[in-house]
Amino acid sequence: MVFLSRQVYGRLHRLRKMHEGITHPDRTNKKNFIFRMTWHFYGRRRNCYTIAIRAAQKMLQRASKNRHQKKINMKALWVQRITAALQEHQFEYTPFMSVLSEADVQLNRKVLHDICIYEPRTFQSLVEFAKQRYNEMGLYDAVAPVPPGIMTRSMFEKGEKIKAKREIKRQKLGQKILK
Amino acid sequence: MAHNRVVQWSTMSRIWWLYDAKYQCPFRSARIIAGYLQGQHKPIYHALSDVGDHVVVINSRHIAMREELWRTFTFSYHTGYAKGFSRTPAWRLHSMEPTMMIEKAVYSNMPGFLLRRKYMRRLHIYPDEEVPPEIIGNVCDQIQQIQKVPKRLDEYTAEEIQAFPKLFDWSEEYVIENISADKPKDTVKAAKK
């Protein structure tokens, strides 16, 4: 009898053994199911079943966690790139997005990120629109810097608060040194 | 779709930026310089793709720090051997090596992976305004300073001081403390004589 593969021979051997009285079934398929996932691992994590199954389970846990994490990472990258593109036009991310959503411009971060790389002129026109609309809405007045040469009571109060905080810090440091 | 729809060769080129550190906070300006070195100001930025620019920092000798930080801020170092710890105040380090403060601040503001050394090689710091021509020749743009350079009182001309608007005159009865402090001494001396 000629066997073309070792596996087939092994299985038939197993069946013969079961005739002789071994009760538990063949686990080859179950093991192969795991080994098919661990073929690219390093060392004994790849070929020894008891170690490989633990590695495979951990791998699957990480895979399902990172399926969610990937979306978060991509979003962060898009935001960073859009911010960089806006920096060229002296504008910021938060007002830009708020104006676009207010004007019902239905472009998400992914599309805006593609536009800012591959179609800079389109992006520039979007920014110009956002800038103008932002001023029209009057949101800029709330955060605009105070013109030079003007002092208000609130500015003094703010400075006093910062000074008081520093003083408290300094005192704490001094007490630490004394101890 | 033709692939030459958007040809932007200069997107991938490295730009040389100039940063004037005169009267600037080294820590806050380091955060900005580190961003430019990593290429965070470009829409094609990615942490693993090396798209950063060159930055030339001039006037690093004339950086400014608030309050008493020159005295209180310290740089610490350990050689790894016993008794190898040393601590140097900022003023001392700055007097020894006027480019060191900016370099250390930028280095600590970048993420610690292998590209960091590569980025630091693109940072050129000069203590004064004298920059070699092969470096300054590459510069094509300037990074905006983080704070306004203040003008000292002695830098104003007499005309500007004269032209400064005067809201009111002191009355003759008003006594200014510093001036009045000299007068009684003279009177006392005169009385003794």
Between helix A49-88 and helix A120-137 the angle, nearest 10°, is 70
Query: Has residue A173 been placed in a domain?
Result: no
User: Hey, which residues 103-122 in chain B have their CB within 8 Å of chain A?
Assistant: none
Provide the token pair at A19.
């005739």
Please give the share of chain A, as a percent, with pLDDT higher than 90. Answer: 51
Contact B134, B61 (CB under 8 A): no
| Residue A102 shares a structural domain with residue A70 | yes
Quickly state the pLDDT bin for A173 (edges 50, 70, 90).
Answer: confident
A100 touches chain B (CB under 8 A): no
Q: B69 CB contacts (<8 Å, ≥6 apart)?
A: B90
Look at B43 and A119 and tell me if their CB atoms are within 8 Å. no
Q: Would you kindly state where each structural domain of chain B is located, as residue ranges?
A: 13-149
Look at A81 and B8 and tell me if their CB atoms are within 8 Å. no
- H or E element at residue A127: helix A120-137
User: What average pLDDT does the structure give for chain A?
Assistant: 87
Give which of A44, A28, A39, A127 is closest to A86, Cα–Cα: A127
Residue A92 is part of a domain; what is its CATH number? 1.10.1900.20
Q: Which pLDDT does position A18 carry in this prediction?
A: 78
Rounded distance between C-alpha atoms, residue B59 and residue B23, angstroms:
9
Look at A84 and B41 and tell me if their CB atoms are within 8 Å. yes
Provide the token pair at A71.
């979306």
Residue A57 backbone phi and psi in degrees, to 5: -65, -40
Q: Which pLDDT does position A116 carry in this prediction?
A: 92
| Residue A58 shares a structural domain with residue A85 | no
For every one of its 193 residues, what pLDDT tens digit does chain B have, with 9 covering 90 and above?
456 655 667 788 899 999 999 999 999 999 999 999 999 999 999 999 899 999 999 999 999 998 889 999 999 999 999 999 999 999 999 999 999 999 999 999 999 889 999 999 999 999 999 999 999 999 999 999 998 888 888 889 999 888 888 888 888 888 776 655 555 555 555 556 5
Q: How far is CA B67 from CA A159, A167, B32, B159, in A?
A: 14, 12, 22, 32
ipTM of the complex: 0.73
A56 touches chain B (CB under 8 A): no
Q: Which pLDDT does position A72 carry in this prediction?
A: 96
Chain A and chain B share a number of CB contacts under 8 A equal to 24
Residues forming a β-bridge with B19: B57
| Residue A58 shares a structural domain with residue A31 | yes
Q: Which residue of A has its CA nearest to B48?
A: A77
From the list A80, A85, A118, the residue facing B6 with the nearest CB is A118
A118 vs A159, residue with greater confidence = A118
Nearest-CA distance from A163 to chain B in Å? 11
Q: Which pLDDT does position B9 carry in this prediction?
A: 72
Query: Has residue A158 been placed in a domain?
Result: no
Provide the token pair at A57.
């389970």
What pLDDT digit, counting tens, does each position of A57-102 carry? Answer: 999 999 999 999 999 999 999 999 999 999 999 899 999 999 999 9
Query: Has residue A71 been placed in a domain?
Result: yes
| Residue A85 shares a structural domain with residue A59 | no
Q: Which residue of B has its CA nearest to A81?
A: B43
Nearest-CA distance from A8 to chain B in Å? 48
- Residues of the domain holding A54: 8-65
CATH of B13-149, one of 1.20.120.430, 3.30.60.50, 3.90.1180.10, 3.50.50.60: 3.90.1180.10
| Residue A45 shares a structural domain with residue A73 | no
Chain B residues with CB inside 8 Å of A77's CB? 46
Nearest-CA distance from A88 to chain B in Å? 8
The mean pLDDT of A142-168, rounded to a whole number, is: 79
Q: Which pLDDT does position A54 carry in this prediction?
A: 96
Residue A137: is its pLDDT beyond 70? yes
Q: Which pLDDT does position B187 carry in this prediction?
A: 55
| Residue A80 shares a structural domain with residue A25 | no
Q: Which pLDDT does position A50 carry in this prediction?
A: 94
